[in-house]
A and B are shown apart, each in its own frame.
Chain A
Amino acid sequence: MTQPAVVTENLTRRFGELVAVNRIDLTVGAGQFFGFLGPNGAGKSTTIKMLTGLLAPSSGRVRLLGLDLEEHPIEVKRQIGVVPEGLALFERLTGAEYLNFAGRMYGLDRSTAAQRTAELLDFMQLTDRPKTLIADYSHGMRKKLALAAAVIHGPRILFLDEPFEGVDAIAAGTLKAMLTRMISRGVTIFLTSHVLEIVERLCSHVAIIHQGRLVAQGSLEELRAGVASSASADGSHGVGFSPATPGERLTLEQIFLTIVGQEASLRRADEELSWLR
């Protein structure tokens, strides 16, 4: 039987009184394109930081590819790639220098790092301005470079925190092309995103976190079935979208809103903030 790529047990993180992530049990199968969703402040980034070793859990365990992250941090880090929230870029290097540096930090020898750097820059269409420092890169260029750095060593799991945020359609296309290629080669991708359409199109499995708790997990079909059965049990179809007709497929957005709730969207802007023009 194939080893799961990511397993968490009772993963918890507290910041003083606030419980940002509360006893999460998560399982991501090897080779899955996994979407990790949740409203703002739900605990997505905190979870991804704990999964990648950027943040220590208050309690609970993380196992990646069968290895305990706390006990084998170096071995685990060799096999994962991460595009974190802050992108982890050294802004006073050029793109090529940064990729080369990242490759060698992951243990590649000098010539391999240089060769992969050239290939990745070419694939990401970042070869136009070789002497430009990252500090002068646009947001989309930074995202592409961060992804290139995360994959330069050929990771078996890739963690992406909001990779499509603030990225134009062209750059998003490049990113998606790379991710699709990686999935076809058996890499596990763990992705958080607010762009539900992209998640729906790319991901095979999804988990939803709300107020620090895991409220749903499974394949898209399993989630659809779960929402439909709970709706028919209480006679509702969720709030704010058209009643589902027999045979109609719920979109991920509908599933998300049903599970997380949508109080905010029910507010009527015309009754509030009347001074806005």
Chain B
Amino acid sequence: MAEVALSAGFTQQVTLIAGLRWRLFRNSLRTTSGKLDLLALTLVSALSGFAVAGIGLAFAAGAYYIVAESKLRLLVLLLWGIFFAWHFLPVLLATSTASFDFRNLLRFPLRFSVFFLLSLAYGLFDPVAVAALFWLVCIAVGISLARPDLLPWTLLIFVLFAAMNLLLSRMIFTWVERLLARRRTREAVWVLLMLVILGFQLSGAFVESWSRRVAPVALKLPPIAGFLPPGLVGRALASAARGHAAEALSCATLVAAYGLVFALFLRHRLRAQYLGEDLGESQAPASAPAAHCSVSSSTSFASFSSSFLRAPVAALLEKELRYIRRNSVLLMNLALAPMLIGFFAVFWSRPQGRPDLFARSPELMFPSALAYMFLLLSQLGNNAFAYEGRGIQLLFLAPVRFRDVLLAKNLTLGLIVAGETALVWLLLSLLLGSPGAATVTATLAALLFAMLVQFTTGNLLSLCYPRRLEFGALHRQRAAGMTMLIGLLVQIALFGLVGTILLVTRRFGGMWLAAGLFLGLSAIAGWVYVVALERCDHLAGDQREVLTSQLAR
């Protein structure tokens, strides 16, 4: 009689999965595109590594100075920096992590402990987490060089702090993913977010009007912050430095307690996933009354797009807007730029919060804000087919030239950029005062030039290095390595060129000269765009196998 297979143990399962990942990685190098991907990722990592190393050096020097000068209370500032970087940067850089969905492994008899560990492991290998850990090591080195006797305490407390941060980051992602997955909770999150923004803006006025009443509350904030993880870690190290071991230990225990609480919340979420939770949109009941199935095509935008565009382009544009509306993570990315710009504008609009630079030159804010917005939005065009899935086949089967498909995608992104530009201008004009006509013209011309360059390179990258992204997923998303590398180089080149022109024209002729130059460059970029768009038609034909195999998996 056949024997029933025994289920594999914890270590064996972890080893098997690590082996699987290694094999997947090795097999991915069989193709030229896989090798290019690795090469590009290595280069991007090296470029980012310089920035991370530079910040690490500053952290180490800062920690050394703080401990050597016995100003240990300042250490908490460095720890808050790392804390914010660990939990906020991944939201801003949601397209840079691994793309393997380990939930696929759940069809095997996988232990929950292994599933939990895998989740943590993926959090640990997140680029931001790696950078944050490196900075923690730098701070530890700085402290130890100044006070070698603090090394054991530093190690103990930092290990707890790192573990707590890892658990917190995973907890945030799993819960946010859960909340954004369903329409009702997603809408609740959006409403909450808007209320927070509105509340912040109102609080600015409130603080100014009622500063006397609010002041005592504000003064209580630092002690409260002292009981939050970074504050506790700072206090633990300060206590250890003074030789108060019991106090240091109690602070370390509280950090561990935070970690435990986060672990419990994370466990709750992962347990639901482990048991087969479906994060898809909830279905309408089968018994729902049969409604007429005409599409809501009589909207004003639909009529508008149809009257100006060819039928397929208009259809594609509407489809793109529908996809964006249904992709909560993408929506969040789109909303991020105006939200952050609005946040800072409110901060700078308050007399006590306005740095001198912007106080003297409010016109600097408009170009800076648009540059920041371009930085965030432009990446979306580099992997334009990311969410098409098997639908990409229809784009090849339909009697439509691929230049029209790309044109519709460029139009969509262009409309979003135009809308957000108007919003940013409105926000800044209301809060900081309207920038001059020359500044506005030069900035818009520069943006036009940058967008045309971005469209051209983005179209080529989208066709040559497509990468499927999971719709609405917050994590496990990364564009192809070559896309990231070339996209980064294009941005560096664009910022270098625009910056140089602004510097030179400021000396010789002012912003109107810059505007003229940018308009000239835009005309050239526009011509290149049209030529490239025509070539993309042929390129798409050559790349159809790559596109369908990558996207229609």
The answer to whether A121 touches B293 (Cβ under 8 A) is: yes
How far apart sit A110 and B314, CA to CA, in the bound complex (Å)? 10
Contact of B319 (CB < 8 Å), options: A93, A131, A132: A93
Interface residue stretch chosen among B41-49, B62-70, B120-128, B279-287: B279-287
What sequence of 0s and 1s flags, for each residue 119-135 of chain A, a beta carbon within 8 Å of any chain B beta carbon? 00110001111111101
Chain B nearest CB from A5 CB (Å) reads: 17
User: Which residues of B are found within 8 Å of A55, using beta-carbon distances?
Assistant: 544-545
Looking at B243-251, B269-277, B337-345, B385-393, the stretch in contact with chain A turns out to be: B385-393
A92: which B residues are within 8 A, CB to CB? 322-323, 326-327, 387, 471
Alpha-carbon gap, A94 to B401, bound state (A): 25
Determine if A86 and B552 form an interchain contact, defined as CB atoms under 8 angstroms apart.
yes
Q: Which 6 A-B pairs have the closest CB atoms?
A: A90-B391, A88-B393, A104-B315, A77-B399, A105-B398, A86-B390
Q: Give complex CA distance A53, B471 in Å.
A: 27
Whether B399 lies near A96 (C-beta < 8 A) is no
Does B541 touch A at the CB level, under 8 Å? yes
Can you add 14 more A-B contacts, CB < 8 Å, to A90-B323, A130-B284? A55-B544, A74-B401, A75-B399, A89-B394, A92-B322, A92-B326, A92-B471, A96-B294, A97-B295, A97-B319, A105-B315, A108-B311, A117-B293, A118-B294
Do A128 and B288 have beta carbons less than 8 Å apart?
yes
Chain A residues contacting B97 (CB-CB under 8 Å) are: none
Could you tell me the distance in whole angstroms from the C-beta of B401 to the nearest C-beta in chain A?
A: 7
A106 touching B297, Cβ below 8 Å: no
**Chain B min CB distance to A257 (Å):** 32
Complex formed: what's the CA distance from A54 to B541 in Å?
Answer: 9
Assembled-state Cα–Cα distance A80/B238 (Å):
76
Pair A104/B312 contact, Cβ less than 8 Å: yes
Partner of B545, one of A56, A102, A117, A131: A56
* A100 interfacial by beta-carbon distance below 8 Å: yes
Contact of A105 among B291, B306, B312, B392 (CB under 8 A): B312
Chain B residues contacting A82 (CB-CB under 8 Å) are 397
Count A-B pairs with CB separation below 8 Å.
Answer: 148
In whole Å, how far is A219's beta carbon from the nearest beta carbon of chain B? Answer: 29
Q: Quick check: is A241 within 8 A (CB to CB) of the other chain?
A: no
Assess the B393–A86 pair: CB atoms within 8 A.
yes
Tell me the smallest distance from the CB of A185 to a CB of chain B, in Å. 21
**B315 to chain A: closest CB distance in Å?**
4
Task: Assess whether B99 is interfacial by the CB under 8 Å rule.
Answer: no
CA distance A104 to B394 in the complex (A): 12
Q: Which residues of A contact B388 (CB under 8 A)?
A: 90
Report A277 CB to chain B, min CB distance, Å. 5
Bound Cα distance from A100 to B322, whole angstroms: 13
B398 cross-chain contacts in A, Cβ below 8 A: 77, 102, 105-106
A86, A96, A118 interface centre (most CB from chain B within 10 Å) = A86
The verdict on A84 contacting B471 (CB below 8 Å), with A109-B311, A114-B297, A118-B293 known, is no
Does A188 touch B at the CB level, under 8 Å? no
Query: Are A53 and B280 CB-contacts (below 8 A) given A91-B389, A96-B294, A104-B311?
Result: no
Partner of A53, one of B284, B292, B397: B397
**Which residues of chain A are within 8 angstroms of B283 by Cβ–Cβ distance?**
129, 132, 136
**Structural contact, A91 and B541, CB atoms closer than 8 A:** no
A107 within 8 A of B: yes
C-alpha spacing A102/B391, complex, angstroms: 10
**Would you call A52 and B397 a contact (CB within 8 A)?**
yes
Once the chains are docked, how many angstroms separate the CA of A162 from the CA of B400? 25
A to B CB contacts below 8 Å, 9 in the list? A54-B397, A84-B393, A89-B394, A92-B322, A96-B293, A101-B319, A105-B394, A118-B293, A129-B288
- With both chains docked as a complex, state the minimum distance between the C-beta of A93 and any C-beta of chain B, in angstroms: 6
Taking the nearest CB of chain A, how far is it from the CB of B391, in angstroms? Answer: 4
Of A92, A97, A106, A128, most buried by chain B (CB within 10 Å of CB) is: A92
In the complex, what residues of A have CB within 8 A of residue B281's CB? 133, 135-136
Q: How far is the CA of A106 from the CA of B397 in the complex (A)?
A: 9
Q: Is B290 an interface residue (CB 8 A)?
A: yes
Judge whether A249 is part of the interface by a CB distance below 8 angstroms: no
Contact of A96 among B295, B389, B400, B471 (CB under 8 A): B295
Contacts of A94 in B (CB 8 A): 295
B512 at interface, CB cutoff 8 A: no
- Chain B positions within 8 Å of A, measured between CB atoms, are 1-2, 280-281, 283-284, 286, 288, 290-295, 297, 302, 306, 311-312, 314-316, 318-319, 322-323, 326-327, 387-401, 471, 541-542, 544-545, 548, 552
Question: Are B297 and A102 in contact, CB atoms less than 8 angstroms apart?
Answer: no
* Beta-carbon contact of B391 and A56 below 8 Å: no
Cβ of A38 within 8 Å of any chain B Cβ, yes or no, is no
A90 touching B290 in the complex, CB below 8 Å, given contacts A56-B541, A77-B399, A275-B2: no
Give Cα distance in the complex from A108 to B306, angstroms. Answer: 12
Interchain CB contact under 8 A, A110 and B319: no
Give the distance in Å from the alpha carbon of A94 to the alpha carbon of B318 in the complex: 13
Q: A132 to B282, alpha carbons, bound, how many Å?
A: 9
Q: Are A54 and B393 in contact (CB under 8 A)?
A: yes
Q: Which residues of B contact A114 (CB under 8 A)?
A: 294-295, 297
A7 to B1, CA, bound (A): 56
Q: Which residue of B lies closest to A125 (CB)?
A: B290
Q: Which residue of B lies closest to A142 (CB)?
A: B390
If the complex has contacts A93-B319, A106-B399, are A136 and B280 also in contact, measured as CB distance less than 8 A?
yes
CB <8 Å contact, A129 and B284: yes
Among residues of A, the one whose C-beta sits closest to the C-beta of B548 is: A54
Q: Smallest Cβ distance from B345 to chain A, in angstroms?
A: 34
Residues of B within 8 A of A54 (CB): 393, 396-397, 544, 548
**How far apart sit A131 and B293, CA to CA, in the bound complex (Å)?**
9
Contact present for B295 and A91 (CB under 8 Å): no
Q: Find the A residue at minimum CB distance from B396.
A: A54
When distances are taken between beta carbons in the complex, the residues of chain B under 8 Å from A128 are 286, 288, 290
Q: Residue A276 at the B interface, CB < 8 A?
A: yes
Does A139 sit at the interface, judged by CB under 8 A?
Answer: no
Is A149 located at the chain interface by the 8 A CB criterion?
yes
Query: A206 to nearest B CB, angstroms?
Result: 25
Q: Does A196 touch B at the CB level, under 8 Å? A: no
Query: In the assembly, what is the distance between CA of A133 and CA of B323, in Å?
Result: 11
- Residues A117 and B294 in contact, CB atoms below 8 Å apart: yes
Contacts of A260 in B (CB 8 A): none
A56 to B396, CA, bound (A): 12
Chain A residues in 8 Å Cβ range of B545: 55-56
How distant is A261 from chain B, measured CB to nearest CB, in Å? 31
B312 neighbours in A (Cβ, 8 Å): 104-105, 107
Contact B306 A110 (CB under 8 A): yes
Query: How far, in whole Å, are A116 and B544 apart by their CA atoms in the complex?
Result: 29
Mask of A259-277 contacts with B, CB within 8 angstroms, 1/0: 0000000000000000111
